[in-house]
Amino acid sequence: MRFSVTNVTVLLMLCDTPPQRLPQDTDYMTDDPSSLSALLRCWLPDEAAVQGHAEAGAGQRLSPTLSQVTRWMRDAQHKLTVHRAALQDGHAMLLATSLDAEALGTGYALIGDWDMARSYWLRACHYGLQLLRQASEQAHPVVPCDGLRLVVCALAAGDMSLARQVICLQQEQAGQVRLNRLAQAILRALLLWLDGQGSQSCHLLRQVIGSSRADRQYLFCYRGLLAMCWALLGIFSADAAMFNAGVMGQLAVHHHWALGRAGDSEEEFICLSALAMINLGQLQGLEQEVFDLLIPQGLVLARG
């Protein structure tokens, strides 16, 4: 069955996770509804608002022109060249260089060059790994959101080994803002899972989900990470329905984030985090049931 994020009403129905899926342990559950659809109903506009966006022309956002993609790639290549030259001169430009490589990889994905897309996403990870190692030596940790971004790039490129290296090198930090605390919790859950502590990993994700409230003030990034928690919980617990619902949530959040933008950046047209979750799920043998233009099928791994 093929699901799409274009119909919000259908999306919310598909994302409805029965309450019994999540244990109702009072030590970490709140009084808020514990279903992904409850969060999405609060976060996303109603169907009439979505139709209004489409009638205004926002519905064309999934089809960037070749000239747009060419310009984005040219800009990313220029920035990458400048920042790599700065690296050779001893300047601390690893983070910027990693972001440039990620953007260039996304550009290649938009024109269907899967090998080059994976190559540049892996380059982004390698630049990030250098940054993580330097941060460890100098006691200046990389913020969790940047660490999680590297993991997403590695998984989008289909390299679980590289993702593991990033997860193991990322240092935990205290006193972070809410977004970084959530990213740190996801990285910790991934590390527990990689260490064979699946039950503890699932418990941590349930804690995160249980403490989340349907708040419209959440940033889109925060909403997307919460949806990622559902996808990961489905993967770690081998629950295909929860996994696919989580991916649907990621796509829905990304879709409405892009509707509010000018349609003039490559990142709006591919949901890299959803691709990463699909690939991780595929490696664990879960069936992909969510198909959308935001997830290029040429970059989806075969089921493991």
Give residue 26's pLDDT band: very low, low, confident or very high (50, 70, 90).
Answer: very low
Q: What is the mean pLDDT of the chain?
A: 79
Q: Is the pTM of this model over 0.85?
A: no
Question: For residue 216, what pLDDT is reported?
Answer: 53
Instruction: Give the Cα separation of 181 and 176 in Å (integer).
Output: 6
Name which residue leads in pLDDT, 23 or 288.
288
Query: What is the biggest distance separating any 2 CA atoms in the chain, rounded to whole angstroms?
Result: 57
Residue 23 carries which side chain, given as an amino acid letter? P
Instruction: Give the Cα separation of 274 and 162 in Å (integer).
Output: 18
Question: In this structure, what DSSP letter does residue 92 have?
Answer: -
182: its two tokens: 């959530």
Beta-carbon-side half-sphere exposure of residue 62 (alpha carbons within 13 Å):
15
Which range (75-84, 165-174, 199-208) has the least confidence? Answer: 165-174
Give residue 22's pLDDT band: very low, low, confident or very high (50, 70, 90).
Answer: very low
Among residues of the chain, what percentage have pLDDT more than 70?
74
Cα 47 from chain centroid? 24
What region, left, alpha or beta, does residue 112 occupy, with left being phi > 0 and alpha being psi -120 to 50 degrees? Answer: left
Q: What does the pLDDT average to over 44-53?
A: 46
Which residues does 206 contact at the CB level (< 8 Å), separation at least 6?
Answer: 22, 23, 25, 28, 233
- Residue spans per domain, the chain: 8-50+65-299
Name which residue leads in pLDDT, 293 or 120.
120
Instruction: Give the Cα separation of 207 and 240 in Å (integer).
Output: 20
What does the chain come to in residues? 304
